[in-house]
C-alpha cells in the first residue's frame, strides 16, 4: 500500500533519514521504532508531506505522491497524528472533526452542501467517531479545555475523520498512563479489524510489541532490522543500537 523507495532527508549536513526502503502492506500494523533522533518522526513528516524529500520516492497505492502537497495526500487517504498534540484549540471538539472531513469521497459532495450545509449523514459519522473515542459528552467543549488524555484521543479522532486508508500515528502513547495505553492498544487493534492500515511510531516498546504485526527498526536514519516482533527483539543489531556495543 505504502512504498518508500530510498527516501532521504538532509537538514544542512544532518542526514535525518538516509536512504530508507520500507513497505507497509494493506491491513497490517507496522511498528517503527528506534532510539531518539533516529529519524522516525521525520519519516512521518515526509510521508504526510510536511517536508519535501531530498531524494527517493514515495508510492501510495502504486502512485508516486512524492510531490503532492500535504492536503492532497489526506485526500488520497493518508492521515496522521502529531507527537506534540496540535489541535484547533479554539474550535469545539465537534468542529475539530468537522473541518477534517477531507477524504476523496467527502470532497465529491456538492460544493454548497460540503461547505455550508450540515447534512445528517455527516452528523452521524462524526457522532460515531466521537462515540468510539469516548468524547461524545465533550462535543461542545473547546479543544483547548480538554484534559491531556482527551486531547490525545481527539487528535486520533480527527485523523480518522478524513476516512483514511493509512494512519500514521506519531508516538500516540507519549505521556499516557498504563490504563490509557491499554485503551489505545485496544483501539488500534479495533481499527485494524475495521480495515485500516497503521504505521505506528512509538517509544513505548511494550505497546509496539503487543500490537504490531511487523516491526522496523531505525538507527541514525537507516533501517537496521525488519520483521516480526519476536525476531526483531532478538536481533543483534537492534540490541546494539539500543544498548550500545560492548
Partner 1 sequence: MDLLDLIDAAQSVADGLLFGSTYALLGIGFTLIFGVMHKINLSYAAASIGAAYGSLLLLSGFTAAPAVIVFMAAALCGGVIGALVYFIGFKFIPVANPLATLMSTVGLLLLIDEIIVHTTEGVPLAYPALYSDVVVRLGQFMLRGDLMFVFVLGCACMVLFLLLLYRTRLGIATRAVSQQPIASQLCGISILQVNVLTFVVTGMLGGIAGAMSGAAIGMLSPLLAQPLTVKGLIVTVIGGLGSIPGAIIAGLIVGALESLFQFLRGVTERDLYIMMLLFAFLVFRPGGIFAKAPGRD
Partner 2 sequence: MDFYLGLAQVIGVHTLLGLSAYCVLLTGQVSLAQAAFFAVGAYVAAILTVIFKWHLFAALGVSAVVSGLTACAVGFPALRVKGLMLVVATLAFGEAVRLFFFNFTYQIQAGELKIGPHGAEGFRQIRYFPEHGWSTFDVLMFIWLMVAIVMACLWWLDQSRAGAVMRAVGEDEVAAHSSGINVTAVKVLAMTIGGVIAGIGGGIFAHYTTHIEHVQFGVILATFAIAYPILGGLSNVFGTLLAVIFIQGFLIEGLRFLGDWRNLLFGALIVLAMNLRPRGFLDAGGVASLKRMLFAGKESSGA
Select the binding partner of residue 86 from partner 2, partner 1, none (C-beta < 5 to 8 A, by kind). Answer: partner 2
Select the binding partner of residue 23 from partner 2, partner 1, none (C-beta < 5 to 8 A, by kind). Answer: none
- Quote the Cα angle for 146-152-154, to 5°: 70
**Shortest CB 120 distance to partner 2, Å:** 10
Nearer to partner 2, 6 or 89 (CB): 89
Site pattern 2..21 for partner 1 (x: CB under 8 A): ---------xx-x-x-----
Nearer to partner 1, 16 or 159 (CB): 16
Kindly state whether residue 90 participates in binding partner 1, applying the rule CB under 8 A: no
Nearer to partner 2, 144 or 237 (CB): 144
Of 19, 35, 75, 229, the one binding partner 2 (CB under 8 A) is 75
Kindly state whether residue 231 participates in binding partner 1, applying the rule CB under 8 A: no
- For residue 71, give Cα distances in angstroms to 118, 144, 201: 22, 24, 21
The dihedral over CA atoms of 203, 205, 210, 212, expressed in degrees to the nearest 10, equals 50
Select the binding partner of residue 103 from partner 1, partner 2, none (C-beta < 5 to 8 A, by kind). Answer: partner 2
Cβ–Cβ under 8 Å, residues 3 and 58 = yes
Burial 1-39 (b: 16+ CB within 10 A, else e): bbbbbebbbeeeeebbbbbbebebeeebbbbbbbeeebb
Site pattern 8..37 for partner 2 (x: CB under 8 A): ------------------------------
How far does CA 169 lie from the centroid of its chain? 3
Nearer to partner 1, 52 or 62 (CB): 52
Nearer to partner 2, 155 or 226 (CB): 155
Is beta strand 2-11 parallel, antiparallel or unpaired with respect to 55-60?
antiparallel
Pick the piece of the chain touching partner 2 (CB under 8 A) from 12-20, 24-32, 91-99, 173-181: 91-99
Adjacent-strand bridge partners of 97: none
Cβ–Cβ under 8 Å, residues 22 and 4 = yes
Adjacent-strand bridge partners of 226: 216
How far does CA 232 lie from the centroid of its chain? 22
Of 38, 41, 42, 94, the one binding partner 2 (CB under 8 A) is 94
Cβ–Cβ under 8 Å, residues 60 and 78 = yes
Chain contacts with partner 2 (rule: CB under 8 A) = 48-50, 69-71, 74-75, 79-80, 82, 86-92, 94-96, 98-103, 114-118, 123, 140, 142, 158-159, 161-162
Amino acid at each position: 500500500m505504502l512504498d518508500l523507495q530510498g527516501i532521504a532527508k538532509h537538514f544542512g549536513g544532518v542526514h535525518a533519514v538516509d536512504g530508507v526502503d520500507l513497505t507497509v502492506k494493506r491491513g497490517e500494523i507496522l511498528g517503527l521504532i528506534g532510539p531518539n533522533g533516529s529519524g522516525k518522526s521525520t519519516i512521518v513528516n515526509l510521508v504526510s508531506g510536511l517536508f519535501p524529500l531530498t531524494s527517493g520516492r514515495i508510492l501510495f497505492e502504486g502512485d508516486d505522491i512524492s510531490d503532492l502537497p500535504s492536503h492532497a495526500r489526506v485526500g488520497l487517504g493518508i492521515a496522521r497524528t502529531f507527537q506534540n498534540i496540535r489541535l484547533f484549540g479554539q474550535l469545539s471538539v465537534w468542529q475539530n472533526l468537522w473541518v477534517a472531513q477531507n477524504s476523496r469521497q467527502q470532497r465529491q459532495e456538492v460544493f454548497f452542501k460540503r461547505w455550508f450545509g450540515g447534512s445528517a449523514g455527516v452528523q452521524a459519522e462524526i457522532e460515531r467517531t466521537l462515540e468510539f473515542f469516548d468524547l461524545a459528552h465533550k462535543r461542545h467543549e473547546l479543544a483547548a479545555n480538554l484534559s491531556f488524555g482527551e486531547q490525545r484521543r481527539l487528535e486520533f479522532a480527527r485523523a480518522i475523520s478524513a476516512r483514511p486508508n493509512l494512519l500514521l500515528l506519531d508516538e500516540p502513547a507519549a505521556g499516557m498512563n498504563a490504563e490509557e495505553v491499554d485503551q489505545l492498544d485496544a483501539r488500534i487493534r479495533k481499527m485494524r479489524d475495521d480495515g485500516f492500515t497503521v504505521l505506528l511510531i512509538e517509544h513505548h516498546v511494550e505497546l509496539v510489541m503487543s500490537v504490531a504485526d511487523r516491526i522496523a527498526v531505525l538507527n541514525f536514519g537507516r533501517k537496521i532490522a525488519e520483521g516480526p516482533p519476536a525476531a526483531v527483539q532478538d536481533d543483534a543489531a537492534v540490541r546494539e543500537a539500543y544498548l550500545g556495543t560492548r
